[in-house]
A = this chain, B = another copy of it.
Amino acid sequence: MMKIALLTFCTLACTLPAHAAELTLAEINARLEKVEAELKLSQNKLTQAENKIAVAEKRASDAELKNKNSKSDIINDDTEIKFGGYARTGILSGKQGTTTTVGPSLTPAGSTGGSVGRLGNEADTYVTADFDYKRHYANDSSFRYYMKIAEWDKTYNTDSAFNGQMNLRQAFVEMSDLPTFTGAFSGSTLWAGKREDRDNFDIHWLDSDMMNMIGTGAGIYDVNFFGDVKTNLSVYGRNFNDIDAMENVEYNNMTGADNTFIQNYTFSLNNRVGGWQWMLNGLYSKENDKRINDGLAQDNAASHGFNTMLAWHGDSFYGLNEGSTKTVLLYGKGLGAEVRGPGSDGYLIDDAWTVKFATYGMTRLSERLSIAPLLVAQSSNSRYIESDHYDWVTLNSRLIQEINQNFALQYEASYQYMDIDPKGFNGNKPVSGSYYKLTFAPTFKMQNVTDFFERPEIRFFVTWMNWDKNLDNYSSTDTFGNAGYHSGGSLMFGTQLETWF
């Protein structure tokens, strides 16, 4: 009886906690399972979310990359459009008058390429706008279409009813990486159209071309026949002025039509290896020898010729300092005797020959001082009339001194000696003598004021120039000897904008 009581009691006493524990366990189980299930679900969702975020981030950075890519691009999946431009415009005046014929080619040597420093010497407006369209194809080839329009104007007016004519300068196509172009031609670029050659270059300070091959034609760039040599092959067509009826009546009666401009064809071979460039151009202009140059003699223009260029493109300042240099040696014969631009001069005669040497560079003298000196010399003989000569040498140096991050002082000194005997061509007289120019140009820039090629520049300038008296006699229609510009010292001042992008 007590056993039972005890048992009873103990059941009562002992099962109470035990019974409570069992209830809790079920409840805990349920709640834990629920938590664990939901947690797993959340973790899966989270993983998906993270994947989606990764994808989204990729897409975002792709999109941003397209935006960044260049300062004026529209880029889509397979296409890119870039807009570019150049503008040079300003005002220039002086006590000597208002002629708008000053400029880097104002000396008697100018017409044969003898430019002087351009800083504080330009009053013209030259503006170009270009459209650069690139498309990438599924077969991994690339297409490029480039179009450029320009206007050149010698007046200040905002409508060009005065002078200046908008015109098309370039319109060409390039086909690159065509899958069927293999071997020596793999990586080459086939082109055709109206263009300035890709490998042209000039001396900016003189606005003078070292090599300016332009026209309408076709060719191929970067063929790799042997070693590291990249070769360009091309043909460029140009037109000379029509042969004057006064000079050759019979020929003109024969041709009749008004616009039978004489055609010139330049066949060009251009090789580059390392910093070296060697170019050979053959010229042919069938009927051009019907052209008769005036003068004391009666000389016929040439119908063919050639010219060649050896150039060194250096990536230091003559090995003396960081910077860059270019050194060029050119020779041309007959129709090729205008070495700066094959096919640019239809009056050259068979015996014409020209040799030209140029070297120029840029470097930094100190944190706040940069310099760009140059030397160009040319001798051109029997050019338009038997035994005439057009010889000249030009020295020029531009200096930039930083005042602050937006303002610099630019200085340019220019000297040219010329010895010219045209033998009466165009009624011009033989002259020899020197030209001097000094320019001081306080200049505003957005940044990098000592960088010679940083633009835009807004320049205010004062220029003093002078030349030997007898240079005034060369021509009655050029600048020298004009109302505005007589030997004895000429002071000009003005302001100019130059920009490109």
Residues of the B chain whose Cβ atoms lie less than 8 Å from the Cβ of A499: 145, 173
Report the bound CA distance from A92 to B97 in whole Å. 47
Q: List 19 interface pairs A-B (beta carbons < 8 Å), by A numbering.
A: A14-B17, A18-B20, A21-B24, A49-B53, A56-B56, A63-B67, A71-B135, A83-B131, A85-B147, A93-B237, A93-B263, A97-B287, A98-B287, A137-B446, A145-B501, A155-B259, A156-B239, A158-B169, A159-B167
Contact across chains for B458 and A158 when beta carbons are under 8 A apart: no
Apart from A53-B56, A162-B261, list 14 A-B contacts with CB within 8 A.
Answer: A15-B17, A17-B18, A20-B25, A71-B79, A89-B193, A91-B235, A101-B257, A125-B168, A125-B194, A164-B167, A172-B497, A180-B404, A181-B406, A235-B495
Report the bound CA distance from A439 to B262 in whole Å. 25
Residues of the B chain whose Cβ atoms lie less than 8 Å from the Cβ of A49: 46, 49-50, 53
**Cβ of A426 < 8 Å from any Cβ of B?**
no
Contact across chains for B175 and A168 when beta carbons are under 8 A apart: no
Contact across chains for A215 and B133 when beta carbons are under 8 A apart: no
Contact across chains for A446 and B143 when beta carbons are under 8 A apart: yes
Report the bound CA distance from A166 to B13 in whole Å. 111
Report the bound CA distance from A262 to B9 in whole Å. 129
**Cβ of A299 < 8 Å from any Cβ of B?**
no
Residues of the B chain whose Cβ atoms lie less than 8 Å from the Cβ of A9: 6-7, 10
- Complex interface residues of chain A between 437 and 472 (CB less than 8 A to chain B): 444, 446-447, 456, 458, 460
Residues of the B chain whose Cβ atoms lie less than 8 Å from the Cβ of A98: 260-263, 286-287
Contact across chains for A158 and B196 when beta carbons are under 8 A apart: yes
Q: Of all chain B residues, which has the CB nearest A34?
A: B36
Report the bound CA distance from A135 to B71 in whole Å. 8
The stretch among A311-319, A322-330, A475-483 that forms the contact with chain B is A475-483
Residues of the B chain whose Cβ atoms lie less than 8 Å from the Cβ of A56: 53, 56-57, 60
- Cross-chain contact of A255 among B55, B99, B446 (Cβ < 8 A): B99
- Cross-chain contact of A168 among B90, B151, B262, B495 (Cβ < 8 A): B151
Report the bound CA distance from A236 to B494 in whole Å. 11
1/0 contact trace for A193-204 toward B, CB 8 Å? 111100000000
Residues of the B chain whose Cβ atoms lie less than 8 Å from the Cβ of A458: 173, 175, 190-192, 218
1/0 contact trace for A21-52 toward B, CB 8 Å? 11011001001101110110011011001101
Task: Give the shortest distance, in Å, between A412 (CB) and chain B (any CB).
Answer: 19
**Cβ of A279 < 8 Å from any Cβ of B?**
no
